[in-house]
């Protein structure tokens, strides 16, 4: 290789090129924002005050396309996250999306809300999962974000129970990689910790680590990880288990990082809203099915999925409120209610079930 080919590029020239590209990006982003404003004008003219500016199926399609055409060096997910923020800012020009989540500030649920809607969405903390449902039902917010299952600890029963009494629709999902840290206030000494606070699910996710490192320390469940972090900020004898967002928000020091027992620990969250979502091309459907208390009831649910070759991705059961030993089944499967192959399965199950409710068809999580 010649000496010229080995010569490093001139730093000033590279920086000048970066400045030129930044200017082009800025101009293009503003052009995109102007297009978003035009979309808002068209929707308002056609639909008036009932116009829906956020379309889950459209955003999922755009993000998938971005990932498919990406050629690097940025990863597909990193590129999609950048566009997620651009789309969030442009949507805010039309009308900011207002989102309720399980609070207080700094929870993993807020982190999931930001991951799904971007930082330009208006996020509103709620004290409990059922309050998130009520805020969405009342129209005080556009959407809600609630946890549904953890890869280590399983289903979140409070969320499933809330669906029994709700007419809301699931409009999306987001999976969040969960990293748990042991956090303390600035005046806390590691050898003086007598209490560890966290959400019950997080305490369970870190059980083995706690048994090995703090076997005799009291573990106190809290309504949320963020609430635990806020509590220990002013205490000198306690620690909290929480994530990055809570640590930064409350200015806590990390005594230990990534203490979750399972390396791939993740939590799945659902986006709940009032409108049905059109097909995006790669969707899931969630059902709630009440079966009569009789032999073979579970088989009657499962068999149509197998016969029609529909991929069931999850099934959970909860005690029914209609009588002892009756159960409600919550089912997720691949496909949309508008798909021709899905409709026969829904009809068969509906004919056999005591009750069946479609909780929603929605795009599979992209990010």
Global pTM reads 0.88
Whether 1 shows a pLDDT value over 50: the answer reads: no
pLDDT at 157: 85
Whether 335 shows a pLDDT value over 60: the answer reads: yes
The per-residue pLDDT of the chain, averaged, comes to 91
- Phi, psi (deg, nearest 5) at residue 256: -150, 145
Whether 5 shows a pLDDT value over 70: the answer reads: no
- Residues 113, 127: Cα–Cα separation, whole Å: 15
Whether 136 shows a pLDDT value over 70: the answer reads: yes
- Residues 31, 160: Cα–Cα separation, whole Å: 43
User: Band of the pLDDT at 322, cuts 50, 70, 90?
Assistant: low
CB-based contacts of 342: which residues, under 8 Å, 6+ apart?
A: 285, 310, 335, 336
- Residues 367, 84: Cα–Cα separation, whole Å: 9
- Residues paired with residue 271 on neighbouring β-strands, in sequence order: 145, 172
Whether 3 shows a pLDDT value over 50: the answer reads: no
* Model pLDDT for residues 61-89, shown as the tens digit of each residue: 999 999 999 999 999 999 999 999 999 99
User: Band of the pLDDT at 2, cuts 50, 70, 90?
Assistant: very low
DSSP 10-54: PHHHHHHHHHHHHHHHHHHHHHHHHHHHHHHHHHHHHHGGG----
- Residues 232, 237: Cα–Cα separation, whole Å: 8
* Model pLDDT for residues 260-278, shown as the tens digit of each residue: 999 888 999 999 999 999 9
- Residues 352, 229: Cα–Cα separation, whole Å: 48
* Of 282, 280, 265, 262, nearest in space to 334 by CA: 282
Span 12-25, average pLDDT: 95
- Looking at mean pLDDT, say which of 49-53, 76-80, 315-319 comes out highest: 76-80
- Residues 124, 88: Cα–Cα separation, whole Å: 16
* Of 322, 345, 318, 181, nearest in space to 260 by CA: 181
Whether 325 shows a pLDDT value over 80: the answer reads: no
The lowest-confidence range among 58-62, 234-238, 262-266, 324-328 is 324-328
Span 344-348, average pLDDT: 93
Whether 255 shows a pLDDT value over 90: the answer reads: yes
Burial category of 241 from C-beta neighbours within 10 Å (exposed 0-12, middle 13-18, buried 19 and up): buried
Domains of the chain by start residue, with CATH: 25-93 (1.20.59.10), 96-178+266-272 (3.40.190.10), 181-256 (3.40.190.10), 276-363 (3.30.70.260)
């Amino acid at each position: 290789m010649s000496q010229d080919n080995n010569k490093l590029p001139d730093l000033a020239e590279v920086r000048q090129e970066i400045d030129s590209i930044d200017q082009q990006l800025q101009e293009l982003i503003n052009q995109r924002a102007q297009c978003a404003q035009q979309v808002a004008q068209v929707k308002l003219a056609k639909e008036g005050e009932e116009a829906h500016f956020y379309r889950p199926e459209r955003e999922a399609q755009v993000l998938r396309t971005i990932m498919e055409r990406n050629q690097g060096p940025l990863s597909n997910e990193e590129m999609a996250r950048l566009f997620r923020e651009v789309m969030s800012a442009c949507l805010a020009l039309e009308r900011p999306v207002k989102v309720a989540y399980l609070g207080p500030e700094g929870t993993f649920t807020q982190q999931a809300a930001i991951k799904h809607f971007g930082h330009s969405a208006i996020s509103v903390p709620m004290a409990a999962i059922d309050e998130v449902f009520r805020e969405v039902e009342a129209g005080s917010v556009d959407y809600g974000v609630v946890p549904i299952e953890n890869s280590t600890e399983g289903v979140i029963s409070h969320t499933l129970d809330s669906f029994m009494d709700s007419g809301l629709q699931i409009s999306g999902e987001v999976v969040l990689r969960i990293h748990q840290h042991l956090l303390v206030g600035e005046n806390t000494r590691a050898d003086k910790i007598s209490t560890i606070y966290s959400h019950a699910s997080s305490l369970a996710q870190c059980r083995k680590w706690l048994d090995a490192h703090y076997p005799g320390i009291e573990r106190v469940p809290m309504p949320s990880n963020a609430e635990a972090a806020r509590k220990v900020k002013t205490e000198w004898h306690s620690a909290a288990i929480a994530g990055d967002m809570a640590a930064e928000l409350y200015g806590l020091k990390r005594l230990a990082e990534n203490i979750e027992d399972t390396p791939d620990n993740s939590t799945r969250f659902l986006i709940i809203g009032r409108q049905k979502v059109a097909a995006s091309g790669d969707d899931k459907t969630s059902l709630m099915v009440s079966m009569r208390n009789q032999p073979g009831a579970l088989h009657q649910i499962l068999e149509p999925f197998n016969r029609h070759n529909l991929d069931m991705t999850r099934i959970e059961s909860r005690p029914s409120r209609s009588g002892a030993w009756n159960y409600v089944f919550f089912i997720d499967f691949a496909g949309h209610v508008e798909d021709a192959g899905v409709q026969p399965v829904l009809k068969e199950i509906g004919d056999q079930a005591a009750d069946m409710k479609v909780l929603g068809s929605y795009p599979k999580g992209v990010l």
